[in-house]
Structure 1
Amino acid sequence: MAVIYGGISNEREVSLKSGLGVCKALTEKGYNVIALEYDNHQQLIKQLLADKPDFAYIALHGRYGEDGRVQSLLELLNIPYVGSGVLASSLAMNKSLSKKHFALAGIKVAKELIVKPDEINLNRELIINKIINIFSFPIVIKPNQEGSTIGLTIAYDKQQLLEGLNTAVNFDSEILVEEYIKGVEITVAVLGTGDDIQALPVIEIVPKNSHYDYESKYAPGGSEHIIPARISKENTIIAQDWAIKAHKALGCETYSRVDFIVPEGQQPVILEINTLPGMTPTSLFPDAAKSIGLEYPDMLDRIIKIAKKKYK
C-alpha cells in the first residue's frame, strides 16, 4: 500500500500532515505501507515504477493531486487507488462547473460570476462595476480551482473587491465571484460508491476567526466542531440528502466531504465538495467518522475496503 502525500500545490503542508497520519494509522492496522512523498512529477513516476505498489492511498490536496492528474497517472500505470476517478476529481476541483451539476441535481447554489484575469487587465473599472451591479457587499472572491480557502477574500467595499481580485489572479486563470451568504457553516462526510452511499452526522463549524479561513481549518483550536450541528431537523435531513446527491452528481467514489452554509430560516446552500478531504488531527472527516464509532485507523481501513470493491 503506497501512501502518496506532500505534492506541489499550495496545500502541500496540509497534505504532509494528512499523509504522515495515514501512514502511521495504516501501519497500526497491519498494512505494509510505502510512504511516498511527492516532490516533483519525475520523482513520483520513478518511485511508482520502482515500488510497484498493489494499491495507492492518495493523501494529496489541491492541484496535481485532487484534480484528477495523479489519478490519471495511477490509471496509466494500472495501480488501483482510493477515492474518486479522473473525471469526478477534475469536476470537483472546478467550483463553477461542479455547481452547475449540483444545480441540475436540485441542490441550492450561490449566485456567481466567473472573471478572467485578461478581463481585469483590459478594463478593471468596467469589471468592478459589473460585479457591483450584480452583487451586494460583502462579496466573496476566490480562485475557481483552489482549496483550503487559499486566495479567498470577503470584500466589504470597492477597494477590498479590487484587492481580492488582485489576490485571486495569483492562484488561478479563473476567478469565482459569489454572493456572500451569512449563516451556519456545516459539512457532511460521505462514504460509499454507487447505490451504497452513507451520509455521516452533520458537523457545525464555528471558526475562531471571522470566517472559516486557512488558519481556522488547520491551526489547533482554530475552529470548534459541533456534532450534531445546531440546525433544524429538516435542514439536517436536507444537508445529508444533498451531500449524497452532490457525491453522485459528479460521479464521486469511496468518500467525499460536502460543505454548506445554512442561512437563518432557509435551506442549506452548497459551497463545494472535497474529493480528498483533509486527514489531519484537526480535520472534519475523521471527526464525523468518530461520531459513529469509527476511530481514525478503522475509518481508513473502511475507506480502503470500500475502494477495493471497485476493482473486484
Structure 2
Amino acid sequence: MTSVRLKVAVLYNAPVLPVDHPDAVSEADVVEVAQAVAAGLENHGFESVLLAVRPPVVEVLRSLDRIGPDVAFNLIEGFGASTAAATHMTGLLELAGFAYTGSPMEALALCVSKGRAKFLLRGAGLPTAPGFVVEPGAAVPRWDWAGPAIVKPDAEDGSLGIDQASVVLDWDSACDRVVWIHATYGGAALVEAYLPGSEYNVGVLALPEPEALPIAEVAYEPVEGTWPILTYAAKWSAGSVEDRASPVLCPARIERELAETMCRLAVSAFKVTGCRDYARVDLRLDHRGEPVILEVNPNPDIGPTAGWARALRVSGRDYSATLAALARQAMGRPRMPLRASDLGNRGRGSSASEPDRQR
C-alpha cells in the first residue's frame, strides 16, 4: 500500500517589475529559489505545489484552500509592488490557520525597517552603527560621528538602492542621496556611519534551538577609487566589475575569538528580533576592529546557490534534508483555531494565483 505524501505549498511572490527594470533581476530570483526548494522537498517525500502569490488577497486564500497543504514553505518577499506587504501575507497565513516555515509576522514587521531593528538591538545591548532614519519630507540631521556616512533605503532588501554613490562624505551629498531614495523607493532612508572594516554574514539555523552557521566573509578587492560595499550590482550582476570585486569566502579567514564573538552576536540578534527557523545577520568591523551588526534579515535568500545555503553545506548539513526538517518543524507548531477554509471561500472571480505542481 502506497503511503500518502505530505503536501507542501511553496509560496513565492509573483514578479511584477518589467524585465528591463533595473531591479527586476533580484525580484525574479525568488522564482528559481522556489523551484529549487520545491525540488528539494520532493526528494524527501513531500508533494510540492508551487504557488506564485499576487493580488487580490482573497484569491491567494482560495488557491491555498484548493491545494489544502499540510504546510506552507514561505518564500514571499513582497506582495504586488510592496516589499513590506510580505509581512502582512505572513500574518494572513497565521490568521488562516496554515502551518508555515520561517519567521513570524512580528519579526518580519520589526526587521523590515533597518532603523527600528537598530534601535531594538541597541536597547538590548548589542552593537550597531550610529545612525538615524529620515522619513519622506523630513529634514536630514547632521551626523555627530567622525567620517563618512552610508545612505540606503530603510525598508528594502537585496542591496536595492545601494551603489557607489551611497557612501557620502558631507551633509549636502547625504541630503541629495536621501532625496533620491525618497523619490525612487517611496519610503524612508537610513543614514548611518560608514564602517571601514571587513564585512561578514552569519547564517542562523534553529532546529529548534538557534545556532550560527560557519561565517562568510565578503573579501573585497575594490577597484581604486571605489568603496568596498555590497552594491546591487555586486549582488545581482554576475561578472560585473563590482561582482568580481566582492568575492565571498566561507568559512571566513578570521581568528577563533572574533568568530566566536560574531556567532554569539548573531544568535543574540536572532533571539532579540524574534526570528524563527532561519535568518542571516550581517556584520562589519568598526575602526577598532570590533564587530558591529549592520542588519538582521529574517527572510534571507535560501536558494541553493545563496550564501545561507553555502554556509549550511560548509557546516556538513544536507540542503534538502534541512528544508524537509524545517517543513516538519513548522507542522508541529501550534496554530490559530481559525481554519483556512473559513476564509478561503470568500470572494468571486477567477483565480489570480494558480497552483503549479512540481514535477
- Give the counterpart of 2:319 among 273, 288, 296: 296
Alignment pair present for 1:45 and 2:45: no
Amino acid at match of 1:34: V
Q: How does 1:43-192 map to 2 (within 5 A)?
A: 43-62=59-78, 63-64=82-83, 67-120=86-139, 127=140, 130-131=141-142, 133-152=143-162, 153-157=166-170, 160-169=173-182, 170-192=184-206
1:208 Cα offset (Å): 6.2
Cα contact 2:150–2:193 (8 A) shared by 1: yes
Amino acid at match of 1:6: N
Aligned to 1:124: none
- Give the counterpart of 1:261 among 284, 289, 298: 284
Alignment pair present for 1:212 and 2:230: yes
TM-score (norm. length: structure 1): 0.87
CA distance in 1 between partners of 2:158 and 2:299 (Å): 12
CA distance in 2 between partners of 1:220 and 1:297 (Å): 25
CA distance in 2 between partners of 1:21 and 1:139 (Å): 38
- Which runs of 5 or more residues in structure 1 are unaligned? 121-126
Amino acid at match of 1:32: E
1:268 Cα offset (Å): 0.7
Aligned to 1:235: 258
Q: Any idea what the Cα deviations from partners look like across 1:197-249, whole Å, max 9, x if unmatched?
A: 21111111235664212232234463422122122322211111111111110
TM-score (norm. length: structure 2): 0.76
Alignment pair present for 1:23 and 2:42: no
Aligned to 1:12: 27
Cα contact 1:217–1:282 (8 A) shared by 2: no
Bigger RCO (CA 8 Å, 6+ sep): 2
Counterpart secondary structure, 2:199: strand
Alpha carbons of 1:301 and 1:93: their partners in 2 closer, same or farther (altered >3 Å)?
Answer: same
- Which runs of 5 or more residues in structure 2 are unaligned? 1-7, 17-22, 223-227, 336-359
Counterpart secondary structure, 2:247: strand
Alpha carbons of 1:205 and 1:303: their partners in 2 closer, same or farther (altered >3 Å)?
Answer: farther
* The structure with more helix, counted as a fraction of residues: 1
CA distance in 2 between partners of 1:13 and 1:171 (Å): 18
Counterpart secondary structure, 1:5: strand
% identical aligned pairs: 26
Which is further off, 253-262 or 198-207?
A: 198-207
1:136 Cα offset (Å): 4.5
CA distance in 2 between partners of 1:171 and 1:14 (Å): 20
1:310 Cα offset (Å): 2.6
Counterpart secondary structure, 1:304: helix
Cα contact 2:153–2:188 (8 A) shared by 1: yes
Alpha carbons of 1:283 and 1:310: their partners in 2 closer, same or farther (altered >3 Å)?
Answer: same
1:159 Cα offset (Å): 5.6
Alpha carbons of 1:197 and 1:158: their partners in 2 closer, same or farther (altered >3 Å)?
Answer: closer
CA distance in 2 between partners of 1:217 and 1:306 (Å): 31
CA distance in 2 between partners of 1:84 and 1:278 (Å): 13
Cα contact 1:66–1:93 (8 A) shared by 2: no
Aligned to 1:245: 268
Cα contact 1:207–1:216 (8 A) shared by 2: no
CA distance in 1 between partners of 2:211 and 2:195 (Å): 27
1:99 Cα offset (Å): 1.3
Cα contact 2:84–2:112 (8 A) shared by 1: no
CA distance in 2 between partners of 1:134 and 1:249 (Å): 27
CA distance in 1 between partners of 2:221 and 2:160 (Å): 17
1:158 Cα offset (Å): 5.1
1:7 Cα offset (Å): 4.1
CA distance in 1 between partners of 2:150 and 2:287 (Å): 19
Cα contact 2:103–2:276 (8 A) shared by 1: yes
Amino acid at match of 1:28: N
Counterpart secondary structure, 1:280: coil
1:20 Cα offset (Å): 1.8
Alignment pair present for 1:203 and 2:216: yes
Structure ID, larger Rg: 2
1:294 Cα offset (Å): 1.9
Alpha carbons of 1:202 and 1:264: their partners in 2 closer, same or farther (altered >3 Å)?
Answer: farther
CA distance in 2 between partners of 1:53 and 1:207 (Å): 43
CA distance in 2 between partners of 1:8 and 1:41 (Å): 14
1:65 Cα offset (Å): 7.0
Alignment pair present for 1:276 and 2:286: no
Alpha carbons of 1:193 and 1:281: their partners in 2 closer, same or farther (altered >3 Å)?
Answer: closer
Counterpart secondary structure, 2:12: strand
